[in-house]
Chain A
């Protein structure tokens, strides 16, 4: 399994490379952002370990470049700072997981295996309806005007259900099956609350209410 390790600290890179090779990866090591961008696009990797603080650039830019060029291998980012915003930006840029330094090699390998497995069956899949595109891998909604909204689990499942059959009416009971909730007995009010929130994203006319029947996604808007 080919893996690209992007880390500028020689000692860490060497140590990690040997540990990863022991775990069954065939590892390419690079210490610069420039080389990493090229390698990631040219070679056919299954995974990458990417340090965010590189001497000649930001790891996030490397990641964005990869994703932009359709390099869809699993990426785990290494960060020296435990800032939540950094983690969010890393995942938004297309990473699959992050690990804060210092870490144990076993944990890195376990996480790598997990994200590789997850990305294995991953095909570029998205649901399109009207002006909207639902990115299934990243669980987010893209709108024609270029904006992107991140969705929570239930929002995503509800919207996928509605968007996969535009114009079809889904009853509240059908939608309830998509619900994942802490409530003892999720009731219909919860569905209404989620629909309200989704309408804020896609516009009130896009999700229509049919009295006594349910909801439908109108892709004409």
Chain B
């Protein structure tokens, strides 16, 4: 199992297992083929040599043992293409003559058997021969017959055949590798589509995995989708609960505040002020915590349409500040998505634009771009800007540069916090015309 403990791809594992196995099996088959080929050809040859000896014996018997009567040209050599030797007590015939030194020693002994001579060094004669010897009596005269074949020639053609088999084997291995590769790819195809679906899920293009997953992965996909469902439900429920809580707490606070503000009611002036500020504290604390708990943060399967949302917010702020102009500059299309939860993006854009709207003289510009996997949000206003020293304090919790514009500090602090959840960057600088410029970078 150590092989699988390492993080290897299924494809890689299958290839490392199947390919060497295929090559090994092919090599074994080739070796066995070689052995069988050798044995078969030898057996075939032996039986032929035996037949020829029997044929010669028949002729010798017909000639009544008179070998010289057989000697009518090269008849045997031409018919059999084999060398032969016949020996009677008074005569020895060897054809062709050049084989004589090779065959003579074989004639010295008796018995019917196959003989093999290897590594002989005789001029004009082969070094490796297979021979069959038979001894018999014709009319009481002992005769020995040997028929032999040059094994060299046979071996050469055998080696050639074996080499061809090797070439064929290699071609088959290549073919096998191709088939294995194809087979693996084919069976991995659903996994690849699953992988693509996961990627699209991550980038927020889809909210659930709908890819056709192989049977083995079906439970996994189902569980993942269920998990996403339950995450969604939890977010929705907690937001719902917060909204209800907000409504049931804020309205009474507003009511009590109204009563306190009513100066016609008999109440000690300092007590009225004290109670008012306490109520204000409660409200601020509550508001900050509630808005914070509404963040979703980066969540798989969630995405927003930045241009559509920005248009709505710009339009709304244009209505609220009719004397100011809220402009959008972007090269993204309406259908463009960012993997940022919708409410979170609204909170970022809304707070930035609202803040800019409060401080601007007549124009606020929002720019949405995407470069190199970075979502860029830039909000510029033409207000009086913020002094260099105060820039670093912007967006810090509890800091307010101007007590007269309530909520200023909270809005930017919320933006900072959401952006930090997405591991993004918030930076403040003074724009070209003096207003504040907020730049947000979130990698997507």
Residue B217 at the chain A interface, CB threshold 8 Å? no
Residue B363 at the chain A interface, CB threshold 8 Å? yes
Residue A56 at the chain B interface, CB threshold 8 Å? no
Q: By the criterion of a CB under 8 Å from any partner CB, how many residues of chain B are at the interface?
A: 55
Known A80-B246, A153-B325: A18·B262 in contact at CB below 8 Å:
yes
Among B399-444, those with CB < 8 Å from A are 431-433, 435
* Bound CA span A181–B326, Å: 9
Residue B81 at the chain A interface, CB threshold 8 Å? no
Instruction: Please choose the segment from B54-62, B106-114, B157-165, B342-350 that sits at the chain A interface, where 4 or more of its residues have CB less than 8 A away.
Output: B342-350
Chain A, interface SS category:
mixed
Known A15-B255, A84-B346: A152·B315 in contact at CB below 8 Å:
yes
Among B202-255, those with CB < 8 Å from A are 242-243, 246-247, 249-255
Instruction: Please choose the segment from B20-28, B34-42, B295-303, B306-314 that sits at the chain A interface, where 4 or more of its residues have CB less than 8 A away.
Output: B306-314
Contact B261 A151 (CB under 8 A): no
Residue A125 at the chain B interface, CB threshold 8 Å? no
Contact A102 B318 (CB under 8 A): no
Question: B347 is contacted by which of A84, A102, A138 (Cβ under 8 Å)?
Answer: A84
Contact B262 A182 (CB under 8 A): no
* Bound CA span A88–B314, Å: 10
Known A53-B247, A102-B253, A181-B327: A11·B318 in contact at CB below 8 Å:
no
Contact B325 A154 (CB under 8 A): yes
* Bound CA span A18–B334, Å: 47
* Bound CA span A182–B250, Å: 39
Contact B350 A84 (CB under 8 A): yes
B359 to chain A, nearest CB (A): 13
> Which residues of the other chain, B, contact A151 by a CB distance below 8 angstroms?
315
Known A88-B312, A139-B315: A12·B255 in contact at CB below 8 Å:
yes
B350's closest neighbor in chain A, by CB? A84
> Which residues of the other chain, B, contact A150 by a CB distance below 8 angstroms?
311-312, 314-316
Residue A60 at the chain B interface, CB threshold 8 Å? no
A140's closest neighbor in chain B, by CB? B315
* Bound CA span A101–B433, Å: 35
Contact A85 B346 (CB under 8 A): yes
Residue B369 at the chain A interface, CB threshold 8 Å? no
Residue A97 at the chain B interface, CB threshold 8 Å? yes
A166 to chain B, nearest CB (A): 24
B239's closest neighbor in chain A, by CB? A83
Residue A218 at the chain B interface, CB threshold 8 Å? no
Residue A199 at the chain B interface, CB threshold 8 Å? no
B288 to chain A, nearest CB (A): 10
> Which residues of the other chain, A, contact B313 by a CB distance below 8 angstroms?
84, 88
> Which residues of the other chain, A, contact B253 by a CB distance below 8 angstroms?
101-102
Among A185-220, those with CB < 8 Å from B are 193, 200
1/0 per position for B101-132, CB-CB distance to A under 8 A? 00000000000000000000000000000000
Question: B257 is contacted by which of A102, A138, A139 (Cβ under 8 Å)?
Answer: A102
Contact A97 B250 (CB under 8 A): no
1/0 per position for A48-69, CB-CB distance to B under 8 A? 0001010000000000000000
* Bound CA span A51–B346, Å: 22
Question: B327 is contacted by which of A92, A102, A118, A180 (Cβ under 8 Å)?
Answer: A180
Question: A82 is contacted by which of B291, B316, B322, B349 (Cβ under 8 Å)?
Answer: B291
Known A53-B247, A151-B315, A152-B314: A102·B254 in contact at CB below 8 Å:
yes
> Which residues of the other chain, B, contact A105 by a CB distance below 8 angstroms?
258, 261
Residue A41 at the chain B interface, CB threshold 8 Å? no
* Bound CA span A16–B251, Å: 12
A197's closest neighbor in chain B, by CB? B328
Contact B329 A80 (CB under 8 A): no
Contact B343 A11 (CB under 8 A): no
1/0 per position for B343-365, CB-CB distance to A under 8 A? 10011011000000000001101
* Bound CA span A150–B433, Å: 28
* Bound CA span A181–B325, Å: 8
* Bound CA span A18–B258, Å: 10
Contact A182 B328 (CB under 8 A): no
Known A84-B350, A91-B319: A153·B433 in contact at CB below 8 Å:
no
B328 to chain A, nearest CB (A): 5
Contact B258 A15 (CB under 8 A): yes
Known A19-B262, A182-B365: A139·B251 in contact at CB below 8 Å:
no
Contact B382 A19 (CB under 8 A): no
1/0 per position for A105-124, CB-CB distance to B under 8 A? 10000000000001000000
A84's closest neighbor in chain B, by CB? B350
Known A15-B255, A15-B259: A152·B347 in contact at CB below 8 Å:
no
Question: B318 is contacted by which of A81, A101, A139 (Cβ under 8 Å)?
Answer: A139
1/0 per position for A156-182, CB-CB distance to B under 8 A? 000000000000000000000000111
A179 to chain B, nearest CB (A): 9
Among B269-287, those with CB < 8 Å from A are 279, 283, 287
* Bound CA span A148–B333, Å: 17
Contact A88 B316 (CB under 8 A): yes
* Bound CA span A106–B380, Å: 30
Question: A11 is contacted by which of B259, B283, B312, B325 (Cβ under 8 Å)?
Answer: B259
Show 15 residue pairs from A and B whose CB-CB distance is below 8 angstroms, ordered by the A residue.
A9-B254, A11-B252, A11-B258, A12-B254, A12-B255, A15-B259, A81-B246, A81-B247, A84-B313, A91-B319, A102-B279, A102-B283, A138-B319, A139-B318, A152-B326
B interface, CB within 8 angstroms of A: 242-243, 246-247, 249-259, 261-262, 264, 279, 283, 287, 291, 294, 311-316, 318-320, 322, 324-329, 334, 342-343, 346-347, 349-350, 362-363, 365, 380, 382, 431-433, 435
Other contacts beyond A88-B316, A92-B312: 19, CB < 8 A: A12-B255, A81-B247, A83-B243, A84-B347, A85-B343, A91-B315, A103-B254, A104-B261, A138-B319, A139-B318, A139-B319, A151-B315, A152-B315, A152-B325, A153-B326, A180-B363, A182-B380, A184-B433, A193-B329
Task: Give the 7 A-B residue pairs with the shortest CB-CB distance, closest first.
Answer: A15-B258, A150-B315, A84-B350, A153-B325, A12-B255, A102-B254, A180-B325
